[in-house]
Structure 1
Amino acid sequence: MCAEMSDSQLFPSLNINLLQEPILQKVSGILDQTSDRGWKKLASVIASDRRFKLSSQEIHQCSLKVLDSEGSPTRSLLRLMGDRGCTTKELSEFLQSIGQSEAITILKPPGIKVTVQPGSMAVLSGHMVKLCCVASGHPVVNYQWFKMNKEVLHGNSSELVFNPVRVEDAGYYICRVNNGYSFNFSDWALLDVFESNLNCYGIPDNKLHIHTQPKPQKLITGDRLLLECIAIGKPLPTYQWYRNGLALQDETNKPYTVLSVSVEHRGVYHCKVTSGKESEDSIKVDVEVLGSGQYRKNFAVECTEEELTSVLEIDEKEEDTFFATDKVALLIGNMSYKNHTQLKAPMVDVYELTNLLRQLDFKVVSLLDLTELEMRNAVKEFLLLLDKGVYGLLYYAGHGYENYGNSFMVPIDAPKPYGSSNCMCVQSILKLMQEKETGLNVFLLDMCRKRNQYDDTIVIPDSLKVTANIVFGYATCQGAEAFEIQRSDLANGIFMKFLKKRLLEEKKITVLLDQVAEDMGRCQLTKGMQALEIRSSLSAKRALTDRIQQSACSLESSKSNLQWAKANELPESMCIEFECGVKIQLGFAAEFSNVLIIYTRIVEKPSDIINCNANITNFPLDLYVDPKEANKQTPEETGSFLVSKDLPKHCLYTRLSSLQTLKENLTFTVCLSYMYHGIEDILDEHKEIDVGRPLISKLDIHSGIQNPCSKSCLFPDSPCHVPEYFGATSHQRRYVQPPSYSQSMYFRVCPDSRLGYLPECSTSPNIPEENADEYSDFPSIM
């Protein structure tokens, strides 16, 4: 950055009539009293400038102001120049030419300084909370508060008041102050908000108080240790954990975790919390760590001799035959992220897995590019299908992360950075699936599993049941990334590349995944970077190929099955006849459950009609369709590469994606244009078409309904260290570069771009376009 700025950079292009009167009077006083560098010298310089056309008569009128008791020739001259559009920048140039540096100094915009910074704090919901920012340097100061990079509605005063404060108000805040000439920013302030409980009523707002105390633990070696201490107070509390009275180095987070404990971790733990000059110790808790032998001794299962004999007499030769009462699958592929790296593979992966699962008699709904609300509602519809003995499969491909053993799927509208409140916790979905007494729960997660450095929230879903019907197939190991393969315009994820080759095999699901893991292990391109991880509690030989043996189901389950089937229901093909005698066939195909292909073809026209064309247009406003990508000669031109071989030839094709956003019936207009032999005029006719609610639009997953994972998707605790913003994060799916010899298949590297955080001024509300450059200095949270 340059150490100095030129005078032209210091002066804003502001009409001099808009300057405050005290400034104009000071400039006038200097020029009125100076002869060689006074107002007459200034007037002669201005008169020689063609832009302002100052006449000798006007200069004479200005000189007559000396006859008034409080008259000022300079003030009259400046008023005259302001009326003709003279700016402070131009006036400073005129003053510079006559050597009037003293007047230039007065015109320089005053600086602005934040004298009172907003303070970070941790508070309870339901209280009134204020963030305060005070600036000096000018009589008039304007304030604008931001939460991250979003303006706060009505946040235009020095105090930002939350009355009452809510959990969703938690986050980082900053205040922008300006005085019409310059601007400045306050420090970032973190507002941490926790739900109130009965033990906290009557506590003063700013007093330090431990809201959540650590709890004693009894573990065996290899278990995860989790102790949590949460405090409220202003300034923001800091934490230090102790074991047996000794401070633990670098353990300064609200949670204290050890992923795999050993005997050396046993002891008495407590946390010291400090807020300003106040400090408070949490209660001291015992952490007992037992060896495996102790565990078997202390937690033995009692049984009689007869029961033990019956256990040992299991007939190993007997092979049970397993059935599913039904098979349902929800497949989600997120690619078109609004704030994060775009992906390619999920589209192909979801499409190919859909076709394979349908061959195994699964009822499949496949969806691309879902927002957080749409993902939650799609999962809710999926859960309605589950019942006793049903095989449920959830596949997700997209960005993701894993914190403290919980996996989170990232929707396309997730902010930057995102936390657990913006994503879906897979373990919470599993808990809801278990409540349905399902016969098999399969999760195939094709996403990265790196830790999210911006999210220190410890999500603890309700206890999972001890069941033997859970299988997790992770595309990569904990703490690692998942990769994509790119081949021309189509892409595969590494996981799906190997999974699709074995999915139809009649093998126990865990055996099948084991073989997929072995296949992936032989892939030289990702060796040492990606390896399939399998977690299973499956004790029976259940397979995806098991046959369906339907049983009596509830009325609600029957309704849900019918609704799920409608999510793949297409409009019927139709023939449209126009008054001129032309007939057009309208056909429909589904690429995914929320992607519809419409194709049109002229099937009959009178012999005297030439240059006949039929296009479709005027789609519902909530279903965005780019006219440039509609009515194409080939499906590939619309972006539809996967079903092109199955569509009829010689048609015009239009691809409608994101059908889940459709709030009403799908309507559009068929526009026919044609000419008759010997007539140069182009004629046209229109037909309005209503095809109802196709595919996923029937389920209304765009609407706001209760969050099925509300217990696991609370607003995240703020990071221990204030986050730095990057163009891409480490827990996003990645590309990898192959050896140069590969021609038919290649990998593409997409490195994390470490871009400084800048707000999108062009889309931020209430930011004047002429001031947009000022926002290029919006500070990063460092």
Structure 2
Amino acid sequence: MDQWKAPLGLLGEDVLRRLSKMLDNSSCGWRQLARVMAEDPRFHSSESEMTHYSLQVLRNIGSPSRTLLARLADQSCTVELLLWGLKTMDHHNAVEYLTQTLSRQIQIITQPQSQQVQAGAKVTLFCRASGPPGLCYQWFKGKEEILNGVFPKLVLFPFHSANQGHYICRVSLGGSCVFSLWAHVRLEAFSAGCPSSFFFGSVSGLRISTQPQSQALTEGETLLLECRAVSNPPAQYEWYHNSEPLKLHQTHSLKIPCVTTAQRGKYTCKAFNLYHKVWSEEAVVTIGPISTDASWVETDARSPPSVVETQEPDDRQRESEKFAVQKTETPHPPVEQFYATDKVALLIGNMNYAHHRQLCAPIADVHELANLLRQMDFKVVSLLDLNWHEMHSAVTGFLLLLDKGVYGLLYFAGHGYENYGNSFMVPIDAPASCTSEHCLCVQNILTRMQDKETGLNVFLLDMCRKRNIHDDVLVQTGLLKVTANIVFGYATCIDARAYEVKNEEVSNGIFIRFLKQRVCEDEKVTVMLDRVAEDMGRCRITHGRQALELRSNLSERRCLTDHIQTEQCSESYSARTLHWTVAHVLPKSQTLHFDCGVIVQLGFAAEFSNVMVIYTRIQKKPANIINCSAQLTDFPVDVEIDLKKTNQDTPLEAGSLLLIKEELPTEAHSRYTRVFGLQRLKKELVFTVCLHYTYSNLDEEIQENQTVTAGKPLVSKLNLYSFSGPTSDATASGVVSVCDANQPQEATFDELLDTPQPLISE
């Protein structure tokens, strides 16, 4: 990470305290800095916050400047932005100090390299960093620390299958640290003479979903080839022309304007990620002379050419003649390639309602859609069970990530209703007789999105659209702009319910069950959703009950798979990436050493942006200790813990239905605890690791405790709980819920395919 783009919090406490002393004055101090930083709406400080800063002088060790800097850090302010603010207010001493400090920060100058070696060979990985004296090195294989890896050089000898994996080096000094790039080390898996493209092409986990198509062009036209792959992690691309690499073309699309005969030949694409690579089919491009017909217009490469009879036996000549006839007889408008300046998605799934019927499907629906959107390079924020304040804060944070040309997608699964053409999402704390005052109006969010001049606004609402008899207020939404970039995908029609199907382990909503099969298709958004509607219409169990409704004014062929182009907005793209990244940082794994000689590894995994799984593993124990286990206790009251499911033997027993076993270790002596509701965490996450063990010659169990501080993980850094607005705890007794309180019989999806019966609404 560029040290200037780094989050403000990474400067370290000593640097921030020194800056605070420089800014704790009235002439050129924290008040002036707050006014300068307020030019960016993200860093605006209200009058009450300014008062809070000034009152810090009443505390023994209080500092208004340090409190302001802490708030800027929580709001994802970068070092570069702070330096800009200090320069703007002409604080020369602070600018000089910060500049000199950064010049001494850690920088990795030699990265470890991926390797493919034979069994028994000697593998050496190097990681060298520049910075102040006393740098510490730590090597990790995946999420597991290598205990003897404390040097810039890591030697694996003799290398065997158990050593295969991804290695990374952490370089630290005090509270600052940087990570190297991942290096993938693996055994040679194919014999001599077997081409690597053949071997990797057969590996599962990476497949070509869109093949480049052969084309016949004339000189001066634009060549556009596309190759898309489905994989996790997302694939990278390299294009080849007549087996020669095209180094300037490394995206899923190859676009060459004004082609000449030099561009004719065979084109192939290599898709690859950290684990696999695969080659596309060959696309043959023929290029003929310039057409003399002035009335000809470039045809849509996606439209099938007209069928033309010919006696010419040469296939390429036949294709060229067919193309020429199409140009003169059936002209089409030119193909325009659309790009996004970035892609951002907010996914909310509400299940555990206080005054409404509980839902089952949103947890799986949000998780599966998030994974699919990440494959299309969306920055995804996935949140479960938000109250009114948290939903407003989440939407506000979502809007901060939007900008001109950005694709914004909002998905909501939960209770909802529709009145007078406006759709309302119901938070988990909404009263039984809730009205628009207690909910979020989707149309108001759309108005705020359009103010950002977004390139595409997609709303996928997986909720009921029944009329709310308790809400007779006509909400006045803002005027929508004529931007032709809005798509609404409603899971059901007006005045109808949306359904979910209860399975034994993981439930799915009907909408997502069909959407996930097509959402990654390289098609205009409305075309993709039309196909989802057709699929739902062919499903016998939903026929006459639920049908997808599509509303759109999208006149351009914009797809969720469109490429991201950042040349014109690289700074805003970097800032947006940093803002999103800060909200998805997990605590670093820790190794705890107990007095009895037991070593416990503590690790963290993200299930959603506000749900985390913590695991403990006995890494080492003396031979005379038996029945050893590490358990987590004493969590803050802010977060939610299911005490019946803490410290379980498997992630499934801990309540995590979704984390695949590759994401968490499943060795013996491991324990898993699921922490949710991280958006409500007001301070750092502090808990206790309690070690229980028994010596082989004693019957009495012994206990040792260690306190662990995990900082503010994931979305807790955004302080979603702090949104200030009207209260949402109004209640009215004796009034039925917005949605039908009757609970029809639950059934598995497979059973419903055989015998139609009632589904569970919403």
TM-score, normalization by structure 1: 0.52
State how far apart, in whole Å, the 1-side matches of 2:457 and 2:751 are.
41
Matched, 1:729 2:739: yes
| 3-state DSSP of counterpart to 2:606 | strand
Cα distance, 1:727 vs structure 2 = 5.5
- After superposition, the Cα gap between the structure-2 partners of 1:376 and 1:735, relative to the gap in structure 1 and judged at 3 Å, is farther
Task: Give the match for residue 105 of structure 1.
Answer: none
Task: Give the match for residue 690 of structure 2.
Answer: 671
Task: Give the match for residue 536 of structure 2.
Answer: 520
| 3-state DSSP of counterpart to 2:461 | strand
Task: Give the match for residue 665 of structure 2.
Answer: 648
State how far apart, in whole Å, the 2-side matches of 1:577 and 1:567 are.
30
State how far apart, in whole Å, the 2-side matches of 1:744 and 1:465 are.
47
Q: Give yes or no for contact 1:393–1:441 (8 Å, CA) kept in 2.
A: yes
Matched, 1:701 2:701: no
| 3-state DSSP of counterpart to 2:502 | strand
Within 5 Å, give how 1:327-476 maps onto structure 2. Answer: 327-476=343-492
Within 5 Å, give how 1:747-766 maps onto structure 2. Answer: 749-750=759-760
Matched, 1:690 2:706: no
Task: Give the match for residue 613 of structure 1.
Answer: 629
Within 5 Å, give how 1:298-337 maps onto structure 2. Answer: 316-337=332-353
State how far apart, in whole Å, the 1-side matches of 2:704 and 2:461 are.
50
Aligned length, in residue pairs: 432
Cα distance, 1:627 vs structure 2 = 2.8
Matched, 1:680 2:696: no
Cα distance, 1:609 vs structure 2 = 1.3
Task: Give the match for residue 543 of structure 1.
Answer: 559
Q: What amino acid sits opposite 1:729 in the alignment? A: C
Q: Give yes or no for contact 1:420–1:714 (8 Å, CA) kept in 2.
A: no
State how far apart, in whole Å, the 2-side matches of 1:728 and 1:452 are.
6
Task: Give the match for residue 657 of structure 1.
Answer: 676
- After superposition, the Cα gap between the structure-2 partners of 1:317 and 1:740, relative to the gap in structure 1 and judged at 3 Å, is closer
Q: What amino acid sits opposite 1:406 in the alignment? A: N
Q: What amino acid sits opposite 1:664 in the alignment? A: K
Cα distance, 1:675 vs structure 2 = 1.9
State how far apart, in whole Å, the 1-side matches of 2:505 and 2:702 are.
39
State how far apart, in whole Å, the 1-side matches of 2:593 and 2:523 are.
54
Q: Deviations over 1:490-528 (max 9, x none)?
A: 100000000000011100000000000000000110111
Q: Give yes or no for contact 1:333–1:346 (8 Å, CA) kept in 2.
A: yes
State how far apart, in whole Å, the 1-side matches of 2:710 and 2:742 are.
38
Q: What amino acid sits opposite 2:694 in the alignment? A: M
Which runs of no fewer than 5 residues in structure 2 stay unpaired?
Answer: 1-329
Cα distance, 1:628 vs structure 2 = 2.5
State how far apart, in whole Å, the 2-side matches of 1:347 and 1:441 are.
23
State how far apart, in whole Å, the 1-side matches of 2:755 and 2:712 are.
40
State how far apart, in whole Å, the 2-side matches of 1:610 and 1:626 are.
28
Q: Give yes or no for contact 1:326–1:391 (8 Å, CA) kept in 2.
A: yes
State how far apart, in whole Å, the 2-side matches of 1:731 and 1:433 are.
34
Cα distance, 1:389 vs structure 2 = 0.3
Q: Give yes or no for contact 1:659–1:695 (8 Å, CA) kept in 2.
A: yes
Q: Give yes or no for contact 2:418–2:468 (8 Å, CA) kept in 1.
A: yes
State how far apart, in whole Å, the 2-side matches of 1:401 and 1:597 are.
33
- After superposition, the Cα gap between the structure-2 partners of 1:702 and 1:556, relative to the gap in structure 1 and judged at 3 Å, is farther
Q: Give yes or no for contact 1:400–1:408 (8 Å, CA) kept in 2.
A: yes
| 3-state DSSP of counterpart to 2:535 | helix
State how far apart, in whole Å, the 2-side matches of 1:376 and 1:706 are.
9
Q: What is the percentage of aligned positions where both structures have the same residue?
A: 54
Q: Give yes or no for contact 2:633–2:687 (8 Å, CA) kept in 1.
A: yes
State how far apart, in whole Å, the 2-side matches of 1:639 and 1:745 are.
31
Q: What amino acid sits opposite 1:415 in the alignment? A: P
Q: Which of 1 and 2 has greater Rg?
A: 1
Q: What amino acid sits opposite 2:456 in the alignment? A: L
- After superposition, the Cα gap between the structure-2 partners of 1:567 and 1:715, relative to the gap in structure 1 and judged at 3 Å, is closer
Structural RMSD (CA):
3.1
- After superposition, the Cα gap between the structure-2 partners of 1:745 and 1:413, relative to the gap in structure 1 and judged at 3 Å, is farther
Q: Deviations over 1:465-490 (max 9, x none)?
A: 11111000000011110000122121
Q: What amino acid sits opposite 1:674 in the alignment? A: Y
State how far apart, in whole Å, the 2-side matches of 1:388 and 1:633 are.
48
Q: Give yes or no for contact 2:430–2:728 (8 Å, CA) kept in 1.
A: no
Task: Give the match for residue 509 of structure 1.
Answer: 525
Q: Give yes or no for contact 2:615–2:673 (8 Å, CA) kept in 1.
A: yes
Q: Give yes or no for contact 2:361–2:500 (8 Å, CA) kept in 1.
A: yes
Within 5 Å, give how 1:630-641 maps onto structure 2. Answer: 630-641=646-657
Q: Deviations over 1:681-713 (max 9, x none)?
A: 322211111111111101100113358xxxxx9
Within 5 Å, give how 1:205-224 maps onto structure 2. Answer: none
Task: Give the match for residue 194 of structure 1.
Answer: none
State how far apart, in whole Å, the 1-side matches of 2:376 and 2:368 are.
13
State how far apart, in whole Å, the 2-side matches of 1:511 and 1:413 are.
37
Cα distance, 1:317 vs structure 2 = 3.4
- After superposition, the Cα gap between the structure-2 partners of 1:535 and 1:715, relative to the gap in structure 1 and judged at 3 Å, is farther
| 3-state DSSP of counterpart to 1:635 | coil
